[in-house]
Structure 1
Amino acid sequence: MTDIGNAAEFLALAFIWVIGLIALVAVVLFIIDVTQSSDAVRRNFPVIGRFRHLFTELGEFFRQYFFAMDREEMPFNRAQRDWVDRAAKGKGNTIAFGSTKNLQPVGTPIFVNCPWPKLDHGETQAAPMRIGPTAKHPYDAPSYFNVSGMSYGSLSKPAVRALSLGAARAGCWINTGEGGLAPAHLEGGGDVVFQIGTAKYGVRTEDGELSDEKLREVASNPEVKMFELKLSQGAKPGKGGILPAAKVNEEIAEIRGIRAHEASISPNRHPEIDSVDDLITMIRHLRAVTGKPVGIKFVIGAYGWLEDFFDRLSKGEPDDAPDFMTIDSGDGGTGAAPMPLMDNVGLVIRESLPMVVDMRDKAGLKDRIRIIASGKMITPSDIAWALATGADFVNSARAFMFSIGCIQAMKCNTNKCPTGVTTHNRRLQRGLVPEDKAVKVEHFVENMRKEVNIIAHSCGVDSPRDLKRYHVRIVCPDGRSRPMDELHPGPALQS
């Protein structure tokens, strides 16, 4: 009984001490809150006002897991993420009881099924397509679906390794993003597209100028198949890349050619490119130095320059033209960008892609310039729509992030990514095992191709690249759908 009494007395004293400590903390916080002047809520409602910040932080979590419906979240809803997750795990992607997708919103594409679809045993994969026929080393790209530009530095080392290994297994290319060529990009042994951003990371001099010597060094890697000159990207057109200082370690600084532990801000454009003529000069120079196909990436806003560009190309020599154009969407993604640019600047891919395809075809450059569509396309219907619209290839970034474990925690710019995809915190990176995730990347690409094929066969064609605009109807403001080839007839019908 004595032992029980002593234990009860101890617990009572501990409880009193805990209550006293809580009261003391509350008094200290009360004094701090009523005397500070930076937060009106805390000043007027001391202590209790602090819960507002806590609930704001937790609100994103609760909305994602408990309150948001499958099709409600932004930028990607649960249904989209779950499709990528199942595809990456190699699971069946059948669903029951009917679609949860609202097919009424204006702009929704609806594919037109054929009364006599292609039989499954007649399935044919899309053949490789040549890019850069006039380059010294043209590239026969094997896959129409590929990994879009994501920089080493913005993405963690394990994430880039997983994408490199997985892309090689799947037979698609991986774009380096503007952060330079890292050993992790080459580790898989697959095809690589080297992106040249406005800061010329990886191919720059100490002063930030383009270095032909480093260009040749990068081009000497047999895995590097093409060079992409980035003029702008969808999430932040008119602004350069942003890499927080916390992510600039010694290795990343060496790869990029910058100082370690300092924030790296790219210029908002290439200083040496002021006109269409300057752009053509740069394209020719890059192709001459590297010997490999050279393309440009941009998001459409003002497009008068593009009309002038195509007019000039149609009258010029073949080497004036870029070998490919990557069209990014105004709602594209990135780890860090100002909200006004991310939300309100640049045309979305649904409008810009048919515009650029028509301009190219009108200039008679369909067989010379390949079109790559990029921006918020992660499901088979997205890819099939882009191919039907006229794209030759489709790039995706966030879809591949989902395939290696991204949960859309929205922490990309904080170095606190809980899945290790966009952090350099070694403890958090530990959760991402590249060899395991590489298999998921492979499964994701294979299942994407399989299900795009299903759409193509339903429309009565053998291969996804046989899809045309007349295979798609677009929901219009009056609630009815209309054939896409009527809404975007192309240069042949326009004339």
Structure 2
Amino acid sequence: MRKLFVILSITTLAAVIIIATFWIPILWSLVVVIPIILLGISDISQTKHTLKRNYPVVGWGRYLLEDLRPKIYQYFIESETEASPISRMYRSIVYQRAKKALSTNPFGTKVDVYQEGYEWANHSMNPLEHHQLNNHPRVMVGGSDCTKPYNSSILNVSAMSFGALSNRAILALNGGAKIGGFAHNTGEGSISPYHIEPGGDLIWQIGTGYFGCRNSDGSFNDDLFAEKATQENVKMIEIKISQGAKPGHGGILPAIKNTKEIAGIRHLEPHTTVMSPPAHKEFSNPPEMLEFIKKLRRLSGGKPIGFKLCVGNKLEFTDVCIAMQTSGIKPDFITIDGGEGGTGAAPLEFSNSIGMPLREGLAFVADQLRGYNLKKEIKIFASGKILTGFDMFRAFALGADSCYSARGMMLSLGCIQALECNNNNCPTGIATQQQHLIKGLVVADKEKRVANFHAETVNSFVEFMGATGVNDLSKIKRHHVYRRISQTEIKTYAEIYPQVQFGEYV
């Protein structure tokens, strides 16, 4: 009986081993196979995608590769100088300066200096040393009607709203502004607690939606504006007429980013897609706009008031200059954005094919203000791919008094140009409202990097200016910058953009 039990036990054990050897892997394989079969059935049954219907399961490969294509191209294929919107060469210099890492280049330039469109400045035989230069140049903003002028840095954080950016990104940008002594433009999404907490200087941007100072019908609310504009952190107010990436379109806040918190700050209904109107309701012509500027200056307690635009119809801006002369009302500053400006979301046609590029727009506005004898009281801020000291030098040569940078500041935060800004999936926690992505952004570290990028870029500009023999911002002229027109022709900016004399149009 015992022998029989032993034999049965051995036989049973052998059977179990055989089943385990052959059937358990088969059963486990069903965990993979069954979902694939179900996916194939789903692909065959659906009617929206021909490729998946004709090639079930395999057809998904096309969508996977399409999603991976920008990443593969950016990391493995693109050259240092040809990628867009920001090439690897310029992304790298921002990262290096933000981290205070080695930011010099070996073996010479990677740029083709004989390519049409190449630009440079000529150096002096007697370059200036650091002790001969102002290493922290600033510009005073405020005309004769301004009672609280602002001493601005020559490089500031360009307009990016809380909503487009995460709360930690805003905290880091404003913290960097506090550390570095420069200003942080709020964007048209109003002033959030995250703009206030670090204590950095603010430029409050008022867009067509009047977020943060609006009535329920979308009209402007004087009391709400005065309440925020008189805060100590708020140093200037900027009326947004248009922005370079989508002039004439208005802003877009996708419903997925319009959280309850953001809606409360902006005085909106949460979880709805918000479209800022393309034009302001408070004014519809230059005299009315100037009266609105006058009102905001009064309500803010005399702070600098300006407006931002991407230049479009030139005659319309000329009308603004004539209205300034006629009424005597002038803004304290004007921000010029270029058609190459960035945004979190915009229709392709608006990003690519509408709005004057920065250089042409900047030169035109500077000339108009000079020609109508208005420039002395009005400062010009330039915005549009300002990333390096040379970008700043070029903007000053065309007539700017100060600069903004948006994408440069984002890169200093750790942006990897994933191009996910418009779908709430930013992997670095910058342009998203998803908490599991935001938590990866450490404010204490990133605010230092923002301050570093600002300081290193301004320093590079000062060094560049000194190399040309110039010791003051006002002495940077259009003849300092050169552009290759063809293989055999070179022109200065003074030739390409002939400067108008003061009072020429009066």
Q: Return the TM-score normalized by structure 1.
A: 0.94
Residues 459 and 263 of structure 1, relative CA distance in 2, 3 Å threshold: same
Q: Say yes or no: does 1:440 pair with 2:449.
A: yes
Per-residue deviation at 1:136? 4.4
Instruction: Find the partner of 1:214 among 206, 220, 224.
Output: 224
The residue that corresponds to 1:237 in the other structure is 247
Q: Say yes or no: does 1:485 pair with 2:500.
A: no
Q: More deviation in 420-429 or 6-15?
A: 6-15
The residue that corresponds to 1:162 in the other structure is 172
Corresponding residue pairs, total: 493
Instruction: Find the partner of 2:317 among 292, 306, 312.
Output: 306
The residue that corresponds to 2:383 in the other structure is 374
Instruction: Find the partner of 1:185 among 183, 195, 205.
Output: 195
The residue that corresponds to 1:340 in the other structure is 349
Residue 382 of structure 2: SS of its match in structure 1? strand
- The letter of the residue matching 2:498 is P
Per-residue deviation at 1:5? 10
Q: Say yes or no: does 1:468 pair with 2:468.
A: no
RMSD of aligned Cα (Å): 2.2
- Contact map agreement 1:242 1:336 (CA 8 A) in 2: yes
Per-residue deviation at 1:182? 1.0
The residue that corresponds to 1:412 in the other structure is 421
- Contact map agreement 1:453 1:463 (CA 8 A) in 2: no
Residues 17 and 68 of structure 1, relative CA distance in 2, 3 Å threshold: farther
Write the distance in 1 (CA, Å) between the matches of 2:487 and 2:455: 38
Could you tell me which runs of 5 or more consecutive residues in structure 1 were left unpaired when the two chains were aligned: none
Instruction: Find the partner of 2:307 among 292, 296, 300.
Output: 296
Per-residue deviation at 1:321? 1.3
Residue 491 of structure 2: SS of its match in structure 1? strand
Residues 134 and 6 of structure 1, relative CA distance in 2, 3 Å threshold: farther
Write the distance in 1 (CA, Å) between the matches of 2:145 and 2:173: 27
Write the distance in 2 (CA, Å) between the matches of 1:17 and 1:463: 78
Write the distance in 1 (CA, Å) between the matches of 2:171 and 2:498: 43
Per-residue deviation at 1:28? 3.2
Within-5 A mapping of 1:347-358: 347-358=356-367
Residue 285 of structure 1: SS of its match in structure 2? helix
Per-residue deviation at 1:442? 1.0
- Contact map agreement 2:157 2:185 (CA 8 A) in 1: yes
Within-5 A mapping of 1:395-434: 395-434=404-443
Within-5 A mapping of 1:129-144: 129-144=139-154
Could you tell me which runs of 5 or more consecutive residues in structure 2 were left unpaired when the two chains were aligned: 1-9
The residue that corresponds to 1:384 in the other structure is 393
Write the distance in 2 (CA, Å) between the matches of 1:403 and 1:380: 15
Per-residue deviation at 1:204? 0.8
Write the distance in 1 (CA, Å) between the matches of 2:488 and 2:435: 52
Greater C-alpha radius of gyration: 2
- Contact map agreement 2:338 2:357 (CA 8 A) in 1: yes
Residue 116 of structure 1: SS of its match in structure 2? coil
The residue that corresponds to 2:161 in the other structure is 151
Within-5 A mapping of 1:65-104: 65-104=75-114
- The letter of the residue matching 2:308 is K
Write the distance in 1 (CA, Å) between the matches of 2:15 and 2:383: 72
Instruction: Find the partner of 1:275 among 263, 285, 292.
Output: 285
Write the distance in 2 (CA, Å) between the matches of 1:174 and 1:344: 29
Residue 235 of structure 2: SS of its match in structure 1? strand
Residues 84 and 6 of structure 1, relative CA distance in 2, 3 Å threshold: farther
Per-residue deviation at 1:10? 3.6
The residue that corresponds to 1:198 in the other structure is 208
Per-residue deviation at 1:105? 4.1
Write the distance in 2 (CA, Å) between the matches of 1:307 and 1:342: 25
Write the distance in 2 (CA, Å) between the matches of 1:11 and 1:75: 56
Q: Return the TM-score normalized by structure 2.
A: 0.92
